[in-house]
A and B are shown apart, each in its own frame.
Chain A
Amino acid sequence: MAGSGTAHLRGGGALTVEHLTVEFPVGTSGDKVHAVSDVSFDLMKGETLGVVGESGCGKSTTGKAIMRVPPPTSGSVRLGAIDLSTLGADQLRDVRGRLQMIFQDPISSLNPRRTIRDIVAEPLTVRWLDGFPRYPAAQAWDNFTPAMLKLWKNKWLVLLTKIGLGVLLGGVLLYVVASAVGEPDQFGRRDGGAGADLANQIIRGGGLLLAPAAIVGIIGSAIWLLLVFLMIPFKIARSVLVAMEKKEFAKEVDEKVFTALEEVGIPAQVSMTKYPHEFSGGQAQRISIARALVLDPEIIICDEPVSALDVSVQAQVLNLLEDLKASRDISLIFIAHDLAVVKNISDRVVVMYLGKVCEVGQPDLLYSKPRHPYTRALMSAIPVPDPLVDPRSAEEIDGELPSPIHPPSGCRFRTRCARATEICSTAEPEIAEVADGQFVACHHPLDEKDWHLSERSVPVTVSSDLDGLLHSTTPEAPGGVK
């Protein structure tokens, strides 16, 4: 699987993600986790786009990269026509309101030390505070800091400094060795002779090499210190200003928070002053949704918003999202590893594997006519309440998810794919349209006879633990997956 390409992009989407790549450095050896590699998809206005794949395939990372927390290693994310990567910090802050994200773990999404009111009001508060004029010192700080950091990270300066330090250290060692072997005179001074003289020169040279870094460092720190001192009076004045207008603002915000909480089904009257630990997971997730809503976003990325919740609560939260989507005209990206959930609410589904896109299409098409071997495996993991189905015929994927640090060459799925051939290890499959509105990245896509084989070949257990299913061996009897 694991394809690149943009054949499935439709153009004119509310959100377009192209060639998105996220890598995390690991250790000091220069290895990287290839969490997301060249992923593209788009989201139309009013659409719900499902993103599925087993645990660790990079779904959350994709969502976060779109939100730029952290920004992707490469690739573009366009909100309408705006390319987010080209925006400065301030512009980005303005745009953020249009794009919101709900995180996987509802409890950890809320700061345990702030009240619900403060949490939900935070987006508004931040914007309100931004409305106050930035004072000159802060402005200078904002401009100066990145420039300075850039200078400090300058390749040549760093190299020069490293060489300088090395030379200095070498000189010191030489001096010490040269002098140490010399005999002390009557006052205990040791004469290092020629070696020490040479070492003195070397040390001087090292000092010279270090001089630029020292100058930059000293001047930079001095300016920073100055700015900090300059900022203090401004900061105080600003705080006074903020304090004066705070009351009025608070009243206004209280109203908005109240409506937002009511909208997501949290009894606002009694909840505003409470702390997150007083709420259940489902309620916490609703509060997260309320926080995302107060900015009136166009797009919400939901990262497994229900996977941490009880099944009964799951349905409620899903319904809430559906309702909000309809009433507020929001587009959704819905991340899940539970296909059953995605299938019901998505207009289009992207299947991911190990940081790559495998297949894109309508959920029922993917379900009934999967083209990608990995999609079929995922689909067959959806429980079917039919006692006649023989679970032993269930599709299985052997082996472990390969390490994202050293992903397989060619098609990333090849290590676990029954159809893999020579070409799969050498060439990466490009994404291509195989049927109307169905795109797949595979050298040997499935066709009709394969669907026939796989149809209904599904174990009966109700389990959303996709991971377990993927790794399980043949079940002994109907009704259970070990």
Chain B
Amino acid sequence: MSEPDLVPDSPVDRLKVDGGNVSSLAETSGEPAAAASYQAKKKGVFFWLAIIWLAIILICVLFANFLPVPEIDERVGDIRQGPSSENLLGTNNLGRSVLSQCIYGARRSMGVAMIATLGGTIMGGTIGLLAGFYRRTIDTVLTSIVNIMLAIPGLVLALALVGFFAPSGGFEDQRFLFFDVSPATNATLWTAIALAILATPAIARVARAQTLVWSDREFVLASRTIGTRNLRIIVRDVLPNVLPAMASFALIGIAALVVVEAALAFFGVGDVTGASWGIAINNGRADLEDYPHMVLFPSLFMFLTILSLNYLADKFVDLSDIREAGV
């Protein structure tokens, strides 16, 4: 999405009205003008704070090894030290820097969630666009596929996929499709796939609902009457209009998948050897009573990230009726 789309009361606001999203309509239409300005003032600060925080996280994801923090598995001091000047956020039960755990954890947690969301958006978006645009048989078939995917609760599906395909501490030679990979890589890949599969049906629903609305617009008819091919209509006329809703849903999708990724660590499935927020929190729980910092800081990282994502998504479209379709 290009930057202008991110600006509130750009076409996204119009989309609220067009999208038949009743409750979002209600939220915007009903408010007195004075209140609107009150919100507008607040919007500025938090909006930018959220953006800045996400930018920081993104830097962690992309450049974790270039940041001036200790290596992820480097022993930097005694174990379970509280925050101090040399170890800003303290050390964990292996004497590793908690800050490093958080930063490298961002790479794993956010990286997996973002890739999975991207994959889910591409798959779900394609399904939704095709189903909504062509309707009839294609819609029936795709919708029933989506419904079956939705028939298993999200976390349970992820558990089943990752638990069966990448049993932790399992057999030495694991295969990812046709490739021999290390168990850790295998687990991470399967986690990403499982999360992408989780995101797919939800995004497909959003995309389909939006496509149904937009492809009924007369400009789509107009494009047909001038002989535009279907693929071009989908890409030029429908997709750009469906994208804002999908993008803001994708933000929520990332937030939800970060949580699932961490939850998997609690179940001990997936790669439990590397660094991720979930693993850090789960490992720290054992020493919670005496050394809360080992849980606190990764939790804080996670909370702020999810909060920023939710807040931004809120700012784009109020996704009240989309959220529950999520994980």
A and B in direct contact, judged by CB atoms within 8 A = yes
| Closest Cβ–Cβ distance, residue B296 to chain A (whole Å) | 45
A122 and B226: CB pair below 8 A? yes
Give the interface centre of B222, B237, B241 by most chain A CB atoms within 10 Å. Answer: B222
Given known A-B contacts A97-B226, A113-B241, A104 and B232 have beta carbons under 8 A apart: no
For A122, list chain B residues within 8 Å (CB). 223, 226, 228
Interface segment, one of B57-65, B187-195, B199-207, B213-221: B213-221
Cα separation A92 to B228 with both chains bound (whole Å): 11
| Closest Cβ–Cβ distance, residue A130 to chain B (whole Å) | 8
Chain B CB within 8 A of A127 CB: yes
Cα separation A108 to B223 with both chains bound (whole Å): 12
Give the interface centre of B219, B224, B225, B237 by most chain A CB atoms within 10 Å. Answer: B225
Chain A CB within 8 A of B240 CB: yes
A109 and B227: CB pair below 8 A? no
For B219, list chain A residues within 8 Å (CB). 108-111, 119
Given known A-B contacts A101-B225, A127-B227, A112 and B241 have beta carbons under 8 A apart: yes
Cα separation A110 to B226 with both chains bound (whole Å): 13
A101 and B222: CB pair below 8 A? yes
Cα separation A405 to B233 with both chains bound (whole Å): 31
For B137, list chain A residues within 8 Å (CB). 153
Instruction: State the interface size on chain B (CB cutoff 8 A).
Output: 20
Chain A CB within 8 A of B14 CB: yes
B218 and A104: CB pair below 8 A? yes
Q: Quick one: which of A93, A105, A291 contacts B227, CB cutoff 8 A?
A: A93
Name the prevailing secondary structure of the B interface residues. helix
Cα separation A97 to B229 with both chains bound (whole Å): 14
A291 and B226: CB pair below 8 A? yes
For B14, list chain A residues within 8 Å (CB). 112, 277
B228 and A103: CB pair below 8 A? no
Q: Nearest chain-B residue to A119 (Cβ)?
A: B219
Interface residues on A, range: 20 to 34
For B240, list chain A residues within 8 Å (CB). 111, 113-114
Chain A CB within 8 A of B75 CB: no
For A105, list chain B residues within 8 Å (CB). 218
Name the prevailing secondary structure of the A interface residues. helix
For A110, list chain B residues within 8 Å (CB). 219
Q: Nearest chain-A residue to B228 (Cβ)?
A: A126
B232 and A69: CB pair below 8 A? no
B232 and A126: CB pair below 8 A? yes
Cα separation A288 to B222 with both chains bound (whole Å): 9
Chain B CB within 8 A of A331 CB: no
Q: Nearest chain-A residue to B138 (Cβ)?
A: A149
Cα separation A129 to B235 with both chains bound (whole Å): 15
Cα separation A295 to B221 with both chains bound (whole Å): 16
B218 and A108: CB pair below 8 A? yes
* Bitwise interface map of B from 109 to 142 toward A, beta carbon under 8 Å scored 1, else 0: 0000000000000000000000000000100000
For B237, list chain A residues within 8 Å (CB). 111
Chain A CB within 8 A of B11 CB: yes
Instruction: Enumerate the 7 nearest inter-chain pairs by beta-carbon distance, A residue then B residue, closest first.
Output: A93-B227, A113-B240, A103-B218, A123-B226, A96-B227, A111-B219, A109-B218
Residues in chain A within 8 A of chain B (CB atoms): 64, 67, 69, 92-94, 96-97, 99-101, 103-105, 108-114, 119, 122-123, 126-127, 129-130, 153, 277, 288, 291, 295
Additional A-B contact list (5), CB under 8 Å, known A67-B225, A92-B227: A67-B221, A100-B225, A101-B222, A111-B219, A111-B240
25 contacts between A and B (CB under 8 A): A69-B221, A99-B225, A100-B226, A101-B221, A101-B222, A108-B217, A109-B218, A109-B219, A109-B222, A111-B219, A111-B223, A112-B11, A112-B14, A113-B240, A113-B241, A114-B236, A119-B219, A123-B226, A126-B228, A126-B229, A127-B227, A277-B11, A277-B14, A288-B222, A295-B226
